[in-house]
Amino acid sequence: MSTVREIFEKDEAAGLKAFEEKIKPLGLSEGAKEKLLYMFKSAFSKASAADCMIDWQYVVPLTDKEQTPYETLKDPENPAELLKKLVIVKLNGGLGTTMGCTGPKSLISCRNGKSFFDIVVDQVKELNDKYGTDVPLVLMHSFNTDDIMRPHVEAVKDVKVITFNQNKFPRIYTDTLEPVPENAESPISMWNPPGHADVYHCLRDSGLLDKFLAEGKTIMMISNIDNLGSVVDLKVLNKAITENRSYMAETVLKTLDDWKGGMPIMYKGHMKLLETAIVPKEHFNDYTDMNFLNYFHANNLWVNLVTLKQALSDGTLKLDTMRNYKKYNNREIVQLEAACGSAIQSFKDSCAVRVPRNRFLPVKSCNELLLVRANVYIMEGSHFVRNPARKIADLPSIQLSQIYQHVEDFEKRFPEAPDMVDLVKLHVDGDVFFGKNIKLVGNVDIQIPAGQTLTIPDGKVLKDCTIRSAADL
């Protein structure tokens, strides 16, 4: 019997039908099936696959016309009235696997014993208490996180928390273009969440989009739950509502660590999200050139609910399909995904706001976890604020070796965060245990040979030094 790929390569319509037959037993909802078939076609048809890659000659960086500087934004006259129209959506489908955790990443202890989820709830509560509003917190979960998050959500009493689930798509073998079969030992191994662009269709399919519109909500702010800087900014909200923008992206200036971040650009006369996955290999250096593209999308975005519903209804919501290749049981598979930022191309009035760096404070690794636990930031309520005692403009550069990758191992070696208010760069290569009341100043480079350990004693000050053994302390 011919595989889906063999059929598809001869006749794309017949191949699409064959794939549809293969996914019938999986029990996908009609909305999920429709979206999967669309993404399958856009990923593998010859015409669509060619469009997946960007034509670099048409890439044009945004100017201040399309990317408004934050400093020019105005404060709203009546914040409470604007907030009545707002829905806060946090993307909460990810696991903490890259940091050695099996559960939702949002439950990792972040600072002062509070998780990302705890801090976000506190941020929304503070906003509502300050302005006498009832802005809801909406969480998009995945099949990976929903069950585990449920008791934590139910325990929240002071904030209206609403949840919905994104779809799950079957992983696909690249050699046959057929779904990975269920594995009795690991039943979820056949599935993947199809990226955070699922937020748009799933809001509609869950009925929440119509519910919010009926309640007079007209704008939603979407951001990753692990971005501790993505709080509601009234100036940005004011611009989105008063200008009635369909889509507005927040951008920040790049640092050397931000080369992976997608960025809005002008492309053939309209805005588009430029992602690593759609950049031709021969232009990768251009893509990472900070002199050419010196900003990126913070993945904080503001979407008009009225125009979103219209775009979903008339089929004009365009999302770029990305192919994420992995190995499974020694065979190559592909996950079909889409980024919510790619919706920027769907609206003629899309724009961007170049915001301060403090609105982008993600935690993707234990390097960044150390940063948010340290005194580089102080807490004003539930908000992370740059410590005024730090006179160095840039954040410290943190480079920890692989042994610190998992939270459990990291916390054994950092029982508390050092004083890093005057730190420029910390580089640790090897197995180093830090004591309490440590102060790091300037450039600190610690390299310990494999198989050895080093303990930095309590109260030690390390300033502009290179450490190779205990004798250097």
Of the candidates 155, 35, 135, the residue with the CA atom closest to the CA atom of residue 90: 135
CA 24 to chain centre: 31
Please provide the DSSP assignment of 187-247 as one string. GGGGEE---TTHHHHHHHHTTHHHHHHHTT--EEEEEETTBTT----HHHHHHHHHTT-SE
Confirm whether residue 427 is marked as ligand binding. no
Confirm whether residue 105 is marked as ligand binding. yes
Confirm whether residue 364 is marked as ligand binding. yes
Please provide the DSSP assignment of 326-369 as one string. EEETTEEEEEEE--GGGGGGG-TT-EEEE--GGG--B--SHHHH
Confirm whether residue 226 is marked as ligand binding. yes
Calpha distance 167→30 (Å, rounded): 11
Of the candidates 88, 149, 74, the residue with the CA atom closest to the CA atom of residue 118: 149
Query: Which amino acid, residue 226?
Result: D
354 token code pair:
């170049």
Residues whose CB falls within 8 Å of the CB of residue 185, separated by 6 or more in sequence, listed in order: none
Calpha distance 231→229 (Å, rounded): 6
303 token code pair:
């979407």
Confirm whether residue 272 is marked as ligand binding. no
Confirm whether residue 195 is marked as ligand binding. yes
Calpha distance 299→227 (Å, rounded): 9
Q: Which amino acids are annotated as binding site for UTP, given as ranges?
A: 105, 166, 195, 226, 364
Binding positions: 105, 166, 195-196, 226, 364
Specify binding-site residues for substrate: 196
